[in-house]
Structure 1
Amino acid sequence: MRPLLVKARLAHGIAHAAPWGVSLDGLLAAEIWADQKAGKRDRGEVVTALAADVDPEDLDLPLARCELSGGGLWHWAATCAYPEKPVDHPVVRYWTGRPDHAALGDLVADLPGVVSERQGPYRSRSMPLLVTSTDTVTWQCVGDDDRIMAILQGIAAIGKKRSQGEGRVLRWEVAPLDESFGWSAGHLHVDGSLGRPTPDGCLYGTAVATGGRGPTGLRPPYMHGFRRHTLNLPFSLTV
């Protein structure tokens, strides 16, 4: 395990929902979990949803653990994505969707005479999508560079709306940092601002620009209720 700088060279940018970028530990955990699910299905085992577990399993990620805050407030030493050369502020694009009535008719034996496009599950949609235009996003972390690269090579796109071409990755790069970057590589963006959701114990005695405080996930799976705590938030990419 050593301090590392991870880069994703992008085709044209990344779509994201939160004010901060995609977490590196979340990316790695999602890829490992997808492989585990595929293996279980191949063996005929039942795959349970993560939401069904009261306390979900912590996967074996190729990252160091930061335990400065003690107890269950430990987190992986890795940051969220930071746009290296963003083009101004995030722009708003829109995606649309309409139900295919012919396809619906093939799926059910008795289709209603009218399928409303104004309400209900089959309504038409026009939804905003925040996109940061940049050719490179970076993460800092403390981890095993060979294992990290082996996992990242299988990830072709990051962020939201990947199947529509957003967040396409051209190539991944992992480079070592000086050993003195140990703490900062696990907590800060390259510009020195807070780069991940962080408990108070990790920041004691430091002066770091943050995005305020609020309830959010501490480590993967970030959306699970058991992972939510009141934390110092990453510095906002929209500032």
Structure 2
Amino acid sequence: MPPPARPGPSKKPSLRVERQLQRQGHRLLAGMDEVGRGALAGPVTVGVVVIDETVRSAPTGVRDSKLLTERARRGLVPRIHGWALAHAVGHSGPDEIDEVGIMAALRLAGLRALAALEVTPDLVILDGNHDWLTAPTDVGLLAFVEPVGPATPPVTTMVKADLRCSSVAAASVLAKVERDELMVALGGRHPAYGWRLNKGYAVPEHLEALARLGPCELHRRSWRLPGVGHDDQMAPNRGATTGTTVG
């Protein structure tokens, strides 16, 4: 479906877009956002937050997770849980990213998040300009991902929805906190890569450890990992990036 009208710049997200969509008949709205797409190790993670017309303004401080400190994000989690009608987080691991590519893995994580909800949204607001959640109608990488849970609800995309829509910003916080905690736990098994601090992204200490030790089983081995030699027989780098943004 076509996206709603874009609101003007705002200092903080609001429910303005959500209310507009609800007036169009989409009572149960799900904000969805992902983290970990550009990491070199660990899962890609998708958060989803569902609201209806009875849900009031988001808890004070809800923002795109990248704009918040770790302490602020963690403090918001229980408040978001109490505010939202429903919420969930889904993951797709590095082995799945290697097998089907990052875009299909994103869809798988999003479907897992939706399947964990106790309600079925009427519409999903997806951050960005590409609908990676909906199953394709043609044959491609996404077509080989087994469906998880109920059919995918309709999707509307919005660039910078995490800056504009409270539901999407809240979803980004839940996804970021859960993935960060997972990477810290996994980092205890592989301390040399510094995941406690870098969460699997391409920062100098992580790249140095990759060059010295090579990748472990939690790295995305189909990617062109910086500082690591690549076998010509390695799986193709499907939709991967090696960006250094930590988000």
Structure with greater contact order relative to length (CA < 8 Å, sep ≥ 6) = 1
Q: TM-score, normalised by structure 1?
A: 0.22
Larger radius of gyration: 1
**Structure with the bigger percentage of strand:** 1
Task: With the length of structure 2 as denominator, give the TM-score of the two structures.
Answer: 0.22
